[in-house]
């Protein structure tokens, strides 16, 4: 029993349950717990940039062959585009079949303030700025702000430069390896506070928004959750089978990360831990370093599903019958706009506003309906994004013969043994 209480899975599950109860019965106190959740996420973000930098640099330096680095990156991008497009299509199909917005009256539903997303400046993505933003004007500033894309860009350049040094760069590589171990030790310390972070975030969410806010748009929530369940256990499961690994074993291996994301509504809260887990699962450091950070910006499966369903849902609420051509246009627009979702504060709503503005068919004001339930769907988006990025890493590793089957089996076996001991 004592070992059970020390188990992180048990601790996080208990914290989430207590957070829900506090939010329900003591909502005012629950609202005050927001700083607890935010502090935990900030502590994780503190180490994300250096861990990404060190992992990518070491991965490229050890890979040595720049052609292989380009090949891995190319495969990752192709995979990202295919799977996220598939997610968009599935989202459109399900929302058309279930019609969660049919019968709802926009004027009678409770609305939030989305003026910051629908204003002329906030309701669009400047694509020239988005592309040029990837290259940091100041290396230190990129790390200070924790901008993943900028850190990724600089890390790749640094890794290429270090590789070009040959043997004279070995001393730097050895130092970086020791430094990376230090950061993972720090992550271990931070994760001891994961139950507190999950409690704070969940207590605030339930206390601030209340479960009663879910009733009017409950059908949309059920539709989104059903679609994401289908996507993970049918589509991603088929991909797992194609590449010869078990979805169930993979999900069990990252169960603690999934619970932390469920509690905090942020996939960033487990980014460093996920990179370490994927290496332990058998993926090479070089593939993990390139695929995981890039996937956090370009492989947002859960976000893609939500965005496509949200657009058609709003059309149904306003009684707008979208043609096949218009829905294909939605897919085309979202294939572009969804790539900017992770790079902008309030990215999901800005992407939706950009898409509605580009279509000029659905009133942008409809976004006000989604504000109240968006927080309750963000957990599902973050979890599916996390699962999808891990699977992408395994797929690219296997396709490049950079996957250690023996290491994977050893990790899975150790997981089962730990579970038996804990119970």
Which tens digits make up the pLDDT trace of 343-366? 444 456 667 777 777 777 888 777
DSSP 234: I
Spatial CB neighbours of 410, under 8 Å, sequence gap ≥ 6: none
Q: Which of 172, 134, 167, 168 shows the shortest CA–CA distance to 151? A: 134
Which tens digits make up the pLDDT trace of 40-50? 888 988 888 89
Mean pLDDT of the region 207-226 = 82
- Give the model's confidence band at 132: pLDDT under 50 very low, under 70 low, under 90 confident, else very high: confident
Nearest 10 degrees: Cα torsion 314, 318, 324, 327: -30
Which tens digits make up the pLDDT trace of 385-394? 999 999 999 9
- As to burial, measured by CB atoms within 10 angstroms (0-12 exposed, 13-18 middle, 19+ buried), residue 38 is middle
Q: Could you tell me the pTM of the whole model?
A: 0.84
- Write down the pLDDT at residue 115: 59
Among 178-192, 273-287, 303-317, 408-422, the range scoring the smallest mean pLDDT is 408-422
Mean pLDDT of the region 85-93 = 92
User: How confident is the prediction for the chain on average, in pLDDT?
Assistant: 83
Distances (CA, A) of 414 to 254, 276, 328, 409: 13, 15, 47, 9
Q: Which long-range contacts (CB under 8 A, 24 or more apart) does 157-165 make?
A: 158/53, 158/57, 159/56, 159/57, 159/58, 159/59, 159/60, 159/61, 159/69, 160/60, 160/66, 160/69, 162/57, 162/60, 162/61, 163/60, 163/61, 163/63, 163/64, 163/66
- Write down the pLDDT at residue 422: 36
- Give the model's confidence band at 129: pLDDT under 50 very low, under 70 low, under 90 confident, else very high: low
Spatial CB neighbours of 267, under 8 Å, sequence gap ≥ 6: 261, 296, 382, 383, 385, 386, 389
Residue 240 has pLDDT above 50, yes or no: yes
Q: What percent of the chain has pLDDT over 70?
A: 86
- Write down the pLDDT at residue 414: 82
Cα separation, 347 vs 356, whole angstroms: 14
Residues facing residue 283 across a β-bridge = 403
Nearest 5°: the CA angle 412, 417, 420 is: 130
- Give the model's confidence band at 423: pLDDT under 50 very low, under 70 low, under 90 confident, else very high: very low
- Give the model's confidence band at 421: pLDDT under 50 very low, under 70 low, under 90 confident, else very high: very low
- Write down the pLDDT at residue 147: 77
Which tens digits make up the pLDDT trace of 159-195? 888 888 888 888 998 999 999 999 989 988 998 898 9
Spatial CB neighbours of 116, under 8 Å, sequence gap ≥ 6: 122, 346
- Write down the pLDDT at residue 106: 67
Distances (CA, A) of 141 to 50, 137, 218: 13, 8, 42
- Write down the pLDDT at residue 123: 47
Mutual angle of helices 34-63 and 148-164, in 10-degree steps: 20
- Write down the pLDDT at residue 374: 77
Question: How many residues can be counted in the chain?
Answer: 423
Residue 60 has pLDDT above 80, yes or no: yes
Which tens digits make up the pLDDT trace of 64-80? 667 777 888 889 999 99
- Write down the pLDDT at residue 248: 93
Mean pLDDT of the region 11-20 = 89
């Amino acid at each position: 029993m004592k070992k059970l209480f020390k188990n992180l899975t048990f601790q996080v599950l208990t914290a989430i349950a207590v957070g829900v109860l506090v939010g329900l019965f003591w909502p005012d106190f629950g609202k005050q717990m927001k700083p607890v959740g935010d502090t935990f996420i900030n502590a994780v973000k503190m180490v994300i940039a250096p861990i990404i930098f060190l992992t990518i640099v070491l991965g490229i330096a050890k890979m040595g062959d720049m052609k292989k680095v380009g090949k891995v990156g190319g495969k990752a991008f192709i995979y990202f585009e295919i799977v996220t497009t598939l997610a968009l299509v599935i989202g459109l199909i399900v929302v058309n079949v279930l019609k969660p917005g049919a019968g709802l009256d926009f004027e009678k539903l409770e609305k939030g303030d989305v003026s910051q997303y629908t204003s002329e400046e906030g309701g669009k993505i400047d694509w020239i700025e988005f592309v040029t933003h990837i290259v940091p004007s100041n290396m230190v500033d990129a790390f200070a702000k924790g901008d993943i894309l900028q850190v990724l860009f600089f890390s790749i350049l640094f890794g290429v430069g270090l590789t070009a040094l040959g043997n004279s760069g070995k001393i730097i590589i050895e130092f970086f390896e020791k430094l990376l171990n230090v950061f993972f030790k720090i992550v271990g310390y931070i994760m001891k506070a994961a139950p507190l972070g999950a409690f704070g975030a969940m207590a605030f969410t339930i206390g601030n928004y209340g479960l009663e806010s879910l009733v009017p748009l409950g059908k949309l929530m059920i539709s989104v959750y059903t679609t994401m369940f289908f996507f993970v256990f049918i589509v991603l499961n088929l991909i797992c089978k194609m590449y010869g690994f078990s979805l169930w074993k993979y999900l069990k291996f990252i169960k603690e990360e999934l619970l932390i994301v469920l509690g905090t509504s942020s996939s960033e809260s487990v980014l460093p831990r996920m990179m370490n887990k994927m290496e332990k699962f058998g993926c090479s450091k070089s593939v993990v370093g390139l695929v995981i950070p890039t996937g956090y910006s370009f492989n947002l499966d859960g976000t893609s599903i939500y965005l496509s369903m949200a657009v058609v849902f709003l059309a149904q609420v306003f009684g707008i019958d979208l043609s096949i051509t218009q829905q294909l246009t939605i897919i085309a627009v979202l294939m572009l706009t969804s790539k900017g979702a992770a790079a902008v504060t309030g990215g999901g709503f800005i992407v939706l506003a950009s898409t509605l503005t580009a279509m000029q068919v659905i009133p942008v004001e409809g976004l006000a309906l989604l504000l109240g339930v968006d927080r309750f769907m963000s957990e599902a988006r973050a979890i599916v994004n996390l699962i999808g990025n891990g699977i992408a890493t395994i797929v690219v590793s296997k396709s490049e013969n950079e996957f250690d089957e023996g290491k994977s089996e050893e990790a899975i076996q150790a997981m089962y043994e730990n579970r038996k001991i804990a119970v």
